[in-house]
Amino acid sequence: MKLSTQDLTKAGLFTALHIAAAVILRLGGEAAVPFSLVPFFVILAGSLLGPKGAWSLALYAVLGLIGLPVFAQPPFGGISYFLRPSAGFILGYIVAAWVIGWGTSRLPKLTVVNLFLVSVLGLAVLYACGLPYLYFIFRCVMGKTLTLQQVLIFGFYPFIGFDLLKALAASMLTVAIRRRLA
């Protein structure tokens, strides 16, 4: 996939939005998975930039991996952050943005409903990456075995309602932006 200067600029701008969303709302304290607005911007990146929106999340992950304090919870960056139960969601952001971008580019008509359904598919991918990683870290790193119900209690139930609202808001915003740009 070839990236133009314009693609790189857009990806950089969205990376800044991802960082701002994570840093501004550093809520959740010591929760296994913190509340974040990043999924809102994941959906926007995919729906506005297409599959190339995933590059903004890849850059976000790389910046955190090299130690910049861009993530929502301590240590906020560095390779050790990927030993946190929530780190799988960061990897899932990349895949979810790509899926949303791919799905959006194939929609016959861009409506809020169609885009919301694609966004829900992206959220499913996000959770499919994040929840097994959460289980793996609890089991293999922290030495705690969780049941499926406990995994859902830590990483799904508290967030899915808010993520669906974020998907709806991002879908409405995307349709409005695309109409203005058309």
pTM of the model: 0.93
CB 5 within 8 A of CB 50: no
Phi, psi of 169 (to 5 degrees): -60, -45
Token readout for 103 is 């799905």
Helices marked H in the chain: 5-24, 38-49, 54-65, 87-105, 112-136, 148-155, 157-181
How many whole angstroms separate alpha carbon 171 and alpha carbon 40?
Answer: 9
Q: Could you tell me which residues come within 8 angstroms of residue 32 by beta carbon, excluding any fewer than 6 positions away?
A: 85, 86, 134, 138, 154, 155
Helix axis angle, 148-155 to 112-136, nearest 10°: 120
Closest CA to 18 of 50, 62, 51: 62
**The token pair that represents 11 in the structure block:** 């990806």
Residue type, 154: F
> In CATH, which of 1.10.1760.20, 3.20.20.70, 3.40.50.2300, 2.40.10.10 is domain 5-181?
1.10.1760.20
Rounded average pLDDT over 50-60: 97
Could you read off the pLDDT of 71-126 as tens digits, one per residue?
A: 988 889 999 999 999 999 999 999 999 999 999 999 999 999 999 999 999 999 99
pLDDT at 129: 98
DSSP 34: -
Q: What is the pLDDT of residue 64?
A: 97
Identify the pLDDT of residue 74.
84
Least confident of 4-13, 26-35, 68-77: 26-35
99 neighbors 46 (Cβ within 8 angstroms): yes
